[in-house]
Each structure stands twice: as C-alpha cells, then as structure tokens.
Structure 1
C-alpha cells in the first residue's frame, strides 16, 4: 500500500467516535435479531433486509459525518472503482444482512475511513458475542482488546483458505470462483466459501485462517479486513501481486509465508 504520513493520534481520536457509532448501530440491529428467524420466501427476505438497513444506516451516517465532516461516502457507484483523492467512508450498515435475517450470528456493522485510497482506521462490531475489531494504520489490529497476529504458516498444504461470493449477475466471475476453488482444493488443507467477506478476513487477521481471496469485491466488504490483516502482519494485494487499492478487480489477504504460493496457485485461473 501507499506510504502516507502517519496521523495516528488524530486517527485514534476519530476511531473512538467510530467505535461508538458502530456499537450504537449494532445495538439497534441486535434488538431486531432472533436466532429463530426464517424468512419464508424472497419477498419476506427482501423486506427484512431493507428494514434492517433502515434501522442502522441513518444514525450511523450522522455519527460518522460528525466525526469526519469533510469525508465523502462510498456509494454503489464508487464501491468497485478507484477513489478520488481525499477522505472517504466505506460503511456497511449491516454486513452479512442475509445472515441476520436467517438467524445466523455472522453479521456486523463496519466503518472504515480511507485517505487517498488507503484505509487508515476501522471498527467492526459483531453484536452477537459483543466482539469489536479495530485498527488504526500504524497502530496494530485488535479484537476485544487483544492484539491480532496472522498465521506463521509457510506451507499452503497446511492452510485454511476461504473465498467469497461476488455480486450477483457476474457469470464469468462465477466461473472463476469455481475454478479457483477447484485449484485450491488440490493445494490447500481446507477450502471454504462464505459471505460476508469481512468475517473470513477477520479470521486471517487473527491467525485462525490463513488466506482469503475474492473476485470482484466491493469496497465496504473488504476495506476493514484489508486494514486489519495488514496491521496484524499480513499481506494484502490483488491476484497479480500488486498492492491492493480501491477499484482492484480482486483481492488476496494472506499470511506472509503463504502469499507467494497462493498467488502462484491462483495465477492458473484465467
């Protein structure tokens, strides 16, 4: 990633406000959550997803705007594009919304501030379990107050790997996902495919998993994880090995000892 002047003290102060914001949004969503939830059809599913979004987004945006008034917002139009210079909020008001409405615990609220295309601070709050992940660029990555470290593995054959589903309607991307899973099944110890992207990246940052890759990621889905993995000692690039940036067509977040071998394996996918 690009080397930027450190502004850790100011960013740490902003992070405190971001933590309050994601905790507040998470509390509102937790009040709506039930492990017994089971939408009966696509109409009920969509209604529940939309209601969750509305319960979280407005107050969350107000809080973040107050914390950094000059920062712009990543929208659907910019979430897969290179960002213009300046500060931008990449926010997912209900990351893993589909899990929430099916009674699964893997959902969270995430907010990441990017400066000139580089994530500089993030907070990810998982209300089920009351777990907060946070990082400031240059200050380390933490979960529930514990410093995170990526895996020390150097053998892909011993690695737990994960990929994520791309946005709907991308047939060629789906083919690449399937081909990449086939490649990794022949090289890694274990291959998983899951949504949302944030959770497997959190596992990489904590060393519970060893690498994550995804085609066509959206920025709110990977910005937090990119900073947390990097601050935990990992490497985050695209699948050509170039530094990951907003707008990159793909992403690989890995323990250092596995990065080159993973790139080599995935380079066989056309």
Structure 2
C-alpha cells in the first residue's frame, strides 16, 4: 500500500505541473516536427520528474525508456510510464489526457495508477486488491448491447502496421450498427479503465500497444471486466489485439469482431 500511495502522489505531482503549463488554445505547430518540438519541451521535464519520484520509491526497478513501446521486457521489474498519455489532446488544448504509471514484474502489471486531472479521476489497481476510482471500489455496469457505449483507439505507430489499420476500419464497421455509440475519448489507459468503472461498456483495439494498455488492463481486470484479445484468449503484453468488456457483453463483442479479417 505504501508503494501505491507513493505512486499516486508522484503521478499527481507530475499532473499538477502539466496542468500549470496547459493552454486552452491549440499549440501553434504546423508540421509534425514542430508539434514534436513543442511536446518535448513539456513532456521532457514531466517525464524526468516522474522517473525521479518513482525510482526513489522502487530503486531496483528499471525504467522502460520508450513510453510508446509495443512490447515490454518479460523478466524483472520495470516502470512503464507515460507522463502525458494523450499527447495529441494536450497539444490541441483539449482536457482528455492523463499521467500513468505501471509497475510490471516479469511481463505482468502488478501496480497501476491512471490520473486524468481534468476529469478529476484517479484509477488505481493491484492484483487481488480490486480497482478503485478516487478511492472507491468500482465494477463494470450491466447493459444490453444496444445501450452500450463502446470505445476504441489506435496505437501511436499504427500507420506502420497496415494489418492493424485495416482491422481498425473493419472493426468499426462491424461494431457501430449494434451499439448506442462508438467513441474515441482520448488516452487509451483512461478508456480501458472506464470499462472497469462502468463509464464505458466496451473497448477494443488492434495493433501492439502494450505501454498504453497495461495500466488500464490491470484496472479493468481487477474491477471485474473481461480482458482478452479479439479471439477471446487471455491478453498479454505481446498480444496484437485487445478487448475489455463488461462480462455480460464480452461474448457479444467477440462475435462482432469475428467479421474482421
């Protein structure tokens, strides 16, 4: 519990720093290179602060340098963190971004914190301890498929994977006619965690995106959601697809995704 509490404090400190620098208007960046320069100036100090705080809490854990990593090491303890999860939204003056920190042991998440400051939402989870939102326990909500709000996203480097691009498009067409709405509400980790708290009913994604999926996956699973790949097998950090759903809707979503080649 001390490690979890310390991680929450560290994540909130970083978020407060980023909130202080956040602007309502979009960044004045015309090209991708200009946007990256603006972002690096913000994210660099925030990432350094987060790394320092978490290293002090767990000196023996190593640090995954690439926050957009599609894979995570299978051995040892690693911090997998994103000081600005939802960088696109942050740069465009939108509120849908978060700070995430996940401790991974031998390829499995053992602690997760997802803090979205403008949503006033802090999700936490540890294996066997359930999931919490702002300190209270959460569970998925039971709904009919026609009343479900679904969400989806694409990995940051999805453009490098034409199969994932095709499946993302096909899956949207497969799911959209059957649910109340499909949304992409910003940070992947927050959306997956929101399945655990019942704010969303379903989430799916194609492509390798372990760094973004790990924290939300632990929150959703500990809350009682079912977390698998699109074929229904247990999701791991090396999986190439991802599904999180309320138990009552999991099989419905898998059935819809069977249309995807």
1:140-159 aligned at under 5 Å gives the runs: 140-153=130-143, 155-159=144-148
Equivalent residue for 2:19, pick from 4, 15, 30: 30
**Corresponding position: 1:19 with 2:8:** yes
- What TM-score do you get using the length of structure 1 for normalisation? 0.89
Measure, in 2, the Cα distance between the counterparts of 1:217 and 1:25.
27
Task: Tell me the equivalent position of 1:8.
Answer: none
Aligned residues: 258
CA drift at 1:144: 1.6
Give 4+ residue runs of structure 1 displaced > 6 Å after superposition.
none
Measure, in 1, the Cα distance between the counterparts of 2:248 and 2:113.
27
**What do residues 107-166 of structure 1 show as CA deviations (whole Å, max 9, x unaligned)?**
11100112222211111122224432211221121112222111112x323221111023
**Corresponding position: 1:109 with 2:107:** no
Measure, in 2, the Cα distance between the counterparts of 1:13 and 1:175.
44
Which runs of 5 or more residues in structure 2 are unaligned?
none
Equivalent residue for 1:177, pick from 168, 178, 200: 168
- What TM-score do you get using the length of structure 2 for normalisation? 0.92
1:41-52 aligned at under 5 Å gives the runs: 41-42=30-31, 43-52=33-42
Measure, in 2, the Cα distance between the counterparts of 1:36 and 1:110.
24
Match of 2:243, SS? strand
CA drift at 1:27: 1.3
Task: Tell me the equivalent position of 1:227.
Answer: 218
RMSD: 1.8
Which runs of 5 or more residues in structure 1 are unaligned?
1-11
